[in-house]
Amino acid sequence: MNVRAGALLLALGTAAWPQETSKKPITVEDLYRVDGPRAVVLSKDGTKAAFARAWIDPESRQDRSSLWLVDGSADKARALEAGEPDARSPLFSPDGRRIAFLSTRHRPKGWTPTPPVPPESDPATDLWVISADGGEPLPLSGPDKPYGRVLSDGFYGRVVFSADGKRLAFVADDGLDPRTPEERAADVTVVRPDQGEG
C-alpha cells in the first residue's frame, strides 16, 4: 500500500465515532471521542506523510494537536514526540529530511517568549523545525527572535519552504506590546474587534 492510500485510510479509519447502528442522537460527550488527522502532507518522494493528530482532551476539555508521521503504510503511524506536545500545520522540507510546524509550546528557557494573545484570538504560535526521523525540535529563530507570533489561521497562516529548503516564508506580527507603560503596569488587557489580527 502506498502512502497516499495509507493516509486516506488513516484519515477515514482513525476517527473514533460510535460504532453502534442504533439511531441514538449525537451528544456533547461524543465530541470527546473524535480523534483523527488534520493537515496531512506528503513528502516530495511520496514515501512519508506527516499530519497533526487532533482531539479534545476529556479532562481539560481543550483542543489538542500533536505531530505524527506515517512511514510507508498506515500501520506505521507514530507520534514524533513523546507526550505529544502541541504541534499543528506540518510541512516537509523539499529534501524530506525536516518538518516545519506551528506550535503554542514555550520557547527554551532564557529565550524571548512568544507574546500572549487574548482568548478570542487565534493561538499564539511560533514556527518550529524537527527532523523527519524524530528527535528534539527547535524554534526557527534564535533566543532573540525579531518577530512576535506566527499567524496560524487558514487564510494568512501559510508557511512555505524555498525551493532549496534553506529559507521559510511565513506571516507574523511584530511582537510589540501595543499597551502604554501605564496599561502594562496595571495589567490591562487590550481586546480589539479584529481579534488581534491587525
Q: Indicate whether 46 belongs to any domain.
A: yes
Res. 187: pLDDT tops 70: yes
Q: Indicate whether 67 belongs to any domain.
A: yes
Q: What is the pTM of this model?
A: 0.78
The string of pLDDT tens digits covering residues 55-92 is 998 888 888 999 999 988 888 899 999 999 999 999 99
Res. 14: pLDDT tops 80: no
**Count of domains in the chain?**
1
Q: Indicate whether 105 belongs to any domain.
A: yes
Q: Indicate whether 165 belongs to any domain.
A: yes
* Domain coverage including residue 107: 3-16+27-185
Q: Indicate whether 195 belongs to any domain.
A: no
Between the alpha carbon of residue 89 and those of residues 19, 60, 179, the distances in Å are 29, 22, 31
The string of pLDDT tens digits covering residues 128-155 is 999 998 899 999 888 988 898 898 887 8
Q: How far apart are CA 8 and CA 136, in angstroms?
A: 28
Q: Indicate whether 196 belongs to any domain.
A: no
Q: How far apart are CA 12 and CA 186, in angstroms?
A: 50
Report the percentage of the chain scoring pLDDT > 90: 45
